[in-house]
Structure 1
Amino acid sequence: MLAGSLFGWEVPAADPARYDTEGIPIRPGEKKAPARSPEYQYEQAKFIRHDYQPGTKVVLDEKMEDPCREMPVGLTGIVDSVDDLGQIHCHWENGSSLALIPGVDHFHRDMTQEPVMESSEEQEPDLEL
């Protein structure tokens, strides 16, 4: 007898189709990264660190939600670090420091940028004689 219930609910509150695998209610239109094991996240973070080293320039392909600042399409940022979850922390041109989440946020590397040197101390300048 759900149709005429006291509170007007059409679906039982404990309907499994309304919850994700972690038991959190699903909200229509909400972006959420898929649940991953800690080992998977750590291994993925290593690959992301290789591709998005500090100093790499990134560009947003889709607007990001940030309550403090506008994050429009085309906004550029500089990678500061990649954490163990694989989130890419950036300094954005609008002053924000919002992290990118691969698989949730849509962005790309700026390919017009010069390649980032891994360590300037180890390399010696070429001298012409």
Structure 2
Amino acid sequence: MTEIEASVNISAPVEKVWQIVSDLDGEPKFWKGTKSVRNISKDGNTIVREVTIAFKDSKCMQKVTLTPNEKIFAEFTEGIIKGTKTVILIPHGNETELKAVWDIKLSGMMGMFTGMVKKHIKSGTEQALESIKKEIEK
């Protein structure tokens, strides 16, 4: 498994940051590696969805669990990516640290490309966090 971590400080309270990051349907707006999402089911704070990623337009299944104002835990259950992506909100007074942690690998024969794809995911994650920050602070 490969771990990727990135974070950004946002000049806004955690509730305001949560409003943006918890809008899972709006994820492709910020996360350029996510081309589209299709929700399949919802049970309380758990959503099962199909995500089309930019890497060869691959489809992945995710089970996403929302912990309001704290974190979003996405587990890749089927598809080219295996592992998890966690988006964490850490309040610091009137600011919020927004952190993304991936723990993933590419499945099957694609596993040998995990290292190569790692830099793209890290770059995309940093870009997404900056886009979210801009949206909130404007």
Normalising to structure 1: TM-score of the pair? Answer: 0.32
User: Which structure has more strand as a fraction of its residues?
Assistant: 2
User: Which structure has more helix as a fraction of its residues?
Assistant: 2
Give the greater-gyration-radius structure (CA): 1
Normalising to structure 2: TM-score of the pair? Answer: 0.31
